[in-house]
Amino acid sequence: MTNQELADLIFPNITKTVEDYELMYPKRVLPEGAKVVRFAPSPTGFMHIGNMMSATINYCLAKSSNGVFFLRNEDTDQKRSVEGSVDFIYHTLDYYHIMPDEYEYNGEVVGSYGPYIQSKRIEIYHTFIKYLISIGRAYPCFLTSAELEEIRAYQSKSKRRIGIYGRYAKFRDVPNEELAQRIKNGEKFVIRFRSEGDFNKKFIFEDLTKGKIEMPQNDIDVPIMKSENLLPTYHFAHVIDDHLMRTTHVVRGEEWMSSVPLHFELFAAFGFKMPKYIHTSLILKKDGDTIRKISKRKDPEALMFFYEEKGYPYLAVIDAVLTIANSNFEEWRTNHPDTPFYCFPFSPKKMSSSGALFDLDKLDNISKNIIAKMPAETLYEEYLEWAKKYDEHVYNLITNHKDDTISFLNIERTCKKPRKDYENYSSIYHKTWYIYDEEWDKEEITYDFGKITDKDEIKKIMREYLNNYYNESDTEEVWFNKIKELCDKLNYCSDMKKYKEKPAAYKGNVADFTTIMRVVLTTSSMTPNLYDIMKILGRDRMQHRFEIFLKKY
C-alpha cells in the first residue's frame, strides 16, 4: 500500500491540494520592508498583560512598516476554551486602539487571508496533513493514553528524554497495510510528524530578540493532528497558518522558544520559508524583596480587566507596556511627547531577554502625566464614560454637577506645569468628593487639621473671614491681600521671612492660616488652589460648610 493510498484512506473527502491553497493565498503585495504580523491568542483565558505586550508590539511593527496586523483566534484546544474570552480579546484591542487590519469576529470577516479562526480551517489543515502522509512525513499513531503514560513514566524514571522518538515511536515504521487495517477497525489515532532530525546534532537559529541560539535538532514525532475533533496541534497550525497568511514576523511568548527546532523541521518538510521570530520576555513583578513572574492567579494587574476597572487612560497602559518592552521607549517618549505610540520604532534587540519588570508605580506616573495634559472637558468626558460602566454613584454625581466638576478639574490645569493629581479615573472621586454638597451629608466627616487644631480659634477665624473679608468678586490678588490682612490682625504672620526669624512671636504663619480655611471647606489640607475652590463654592456653600463644622464642634 502506498503512502498516497494511506493518505486517501484517512482523508477521503479532501480533494484540494497544497498548490490550490498556495494560489488562494498568494504572496501579499506590500511595500518593501512591510511586516506582516499577527496576534494569535488562544481563547482559554482572559487577555493578560503578556498578551497585551505582544499585541502592542505587533501593532507597532505593522504600523511603522506599512505592513499588516491580523488577529487569529487559536481555538483548537476546545476543552479549555473559556466563555467570553474572544469577546474580551476583541474588546481589549478596540479599547486600546490597537485593532488589527484583518480579523473575523461575530460573523464579520475583514481580510482575504482567512478564515481567521482555526476551527474553521480544518479542511486546510487536513489537506496539508494529507500531503505529509503522502510523502511519508506523517503517519497515524495508535498508542493509547495508557501506553503513552507508561512510556513517560519509564523515561522519567530512567532519566531519559520525554517524548515519542526513536524506539518509542512504535508506529513510525509499521507497514501501511497494518495501519490501514487498524483505521478500518475503528481504532483511535493521532497523526504524528515523522521527524528526520538528530538530537545529537545542533540546530542554530537567530531570534531577533535573543540573538543566535543553539539547540539540539528536533527528533520527536509530535502529534500534528489530535484524535478528538481531528483538530491540529498548535505546532502544526502555526506552520500552516503563518505560511498561508504570509506572516513575516512571529511575536510570541518565550515559552515557545524551545519548539523552534520542531517548527523549523515542519516548515522545511513543506519547503516553506520560515518567518522571523521575536520571542518576548516573561513579565515580572517586584514582590517585597524578590522579583518573580507575574501571576494570573495572584496578581490582579496581570489581567487586562484591572486597568479598565481602575480607569487608566488607554494611552497610559500602552506607554507602560512599551516602556517594559523596549529599553529606549522612555527616551523616545521624552523626545516625542505628542507622537502616536505606533510611530515608535520598536526594536527587538532592545527588548530585555531576561524578563520585563512591570511596575504599577511607573504606570501611575505615566498616567498622571497623561491625565494632567488633558483639557478639563476631555477629562470630564473620560471620567463620565468610566463612571457609567463602573460607578453609578459617581456617574450620577458628576452628571448632575457637570459644570462644577469641570471647573474643579480645571484648577491649575491650563498652566505650564499642570497638577498631577490623578493616576486613573477611579481615584478622582476620593480627591474631589468635597465639592459636592450631598456628599457632606453622607460622609463621616473627619477634618485633617494641621498645626492649628483649637476649634474656638478656627471658629473665630472662619467667622471673621466670612463676615468681613470674603467677597465673591475679588480677584485672586485682592483675595490674597485680604487674607494676609486678617492674618496679621489675628497675630499670624503673613510674611514668611519675618515669621522664620521669630516664629515664637506669632500663632502661626499665613500657610497655617489658609490651611484652616482649606480644611473647613474641604476637610483636606492638600487641595488645589484655594481661591479657585472658593470661587466654585461661592459664599452660601462656604457658609454651609462652616455650619457643618460648627455642628460637629
* Interacting residues with ligand GLU (CB under 6 A): 40-42, 74, 238, 250, 252-253, 256
| CB 51, min distance to ligand GLU, A | 8
CB closer to ligand GLU, 253 vs 355: 253
Count of all residues that appear for the chain in the document: 553
| CB 207, min distance to ligand GLU, A | 14
For residue 514, give every residue at least 6 positions away whose Cβ sits within 8 Å of its Cβ, in sequence order, or none.
Answer: 483, 530
CB closer to ligand GLU, 57 vs 519: 57
Cell 494511506, located at residue: 6
CB closer to ligand GLU, 281 vs 426: 281
Burial (CB count within 10 angstroms: exposed 0-12, middle 13-18, buried 19+), residue 77? middle
CB closer to ligand GLU, 180 vs 215: 215
| CB 30, min distance to ligand GLU, A | 21
Cell 466670612, located at residue: 466
For residue 549, give every residue at least 6 positions away whose Cβ sits within 8 Å of its Cβ, in sequence order, or none.
Answer: 447, 458, 459, 462, 520
| CB 250, min distance to ligand GLU, A | 6
Give the bridge partners for 141, in sequence order: 190
The reply to whether omega before 115 is within 30° of 0 (cis) is: yes
**Which long-range contacts (C-beta less than 8 Å, at least 24 apart) are formed by 452-458?**
452/507, 452/508, 452/512, 452/513, 452/515, 452/516, 455/553, 457/507, 458/516, 458/520, 458/549, 458/553
- What pairing do the DSSP bridges indicate for beta strands 276-280 and 249-253? parallel
CB closer to ligand GLU, 282 vs 372: 282
Phi and psi torsions of 139, nearest 5°: -155, 155
State the virtual CA torsion across 464, 468, 470, 472 in degrees, nearest 10.
150
| CB 62, min distance to ligand GLU, A | 15
In angstroms, the Cα distances linking 253 to 55, 281, 356 are 11, 7, 12
| CB 290, min distance to ligand GLU, A | 26
CB closer to ligand GLU, 115 vs 253: 253
Distance, CA of 413 to CA of 469 (rounded, Å):
28
| CB 520, min distance to ligand GLU, A | 57
CB closer to ligand GLU, 55 vs 487: 55
CA 5 to chain centre: 49
| CB 76, min distance to ligand GLU, A | 9
Number of neighbours of residue 538 by Cβ within 10 angstroms: 11
- Strand ranges across the sheet with 249-253: 68-71, 36-39, 249-253, 276-280
CA 107 to chain centre: 26
| CB 144, min distance to ligand GLU, A | 28
Question: How big, in percent rounded to 5, are the helix, strand and coil portions of the chain?
Answer: 50, 10, 35
CB closer to ligand GLU, 35 vs 238: 238
CB closer to ligand GLU, 40 vs 486: 40
| CB 112, min distance to ligand GLU, A | 21
Give the bridge partners for 277, in sequence order: 250
CB closer to ligand GLU, 82 vs 496: 82
Secondary element (H or E) of residue 303? none
CB closer to ligand GLU, 80 vs 393: 80
| CB 240, min distance to ligand GLU, A | 12
| CB 241, min distance to ligand GLU, A | 9
Cell of 245: 497568511
For 153-165, letters b (16+ CB in 10 Å) and e give eebeeeeeeebbb
CB closer to ligand GLU, 221 vs 241: 241
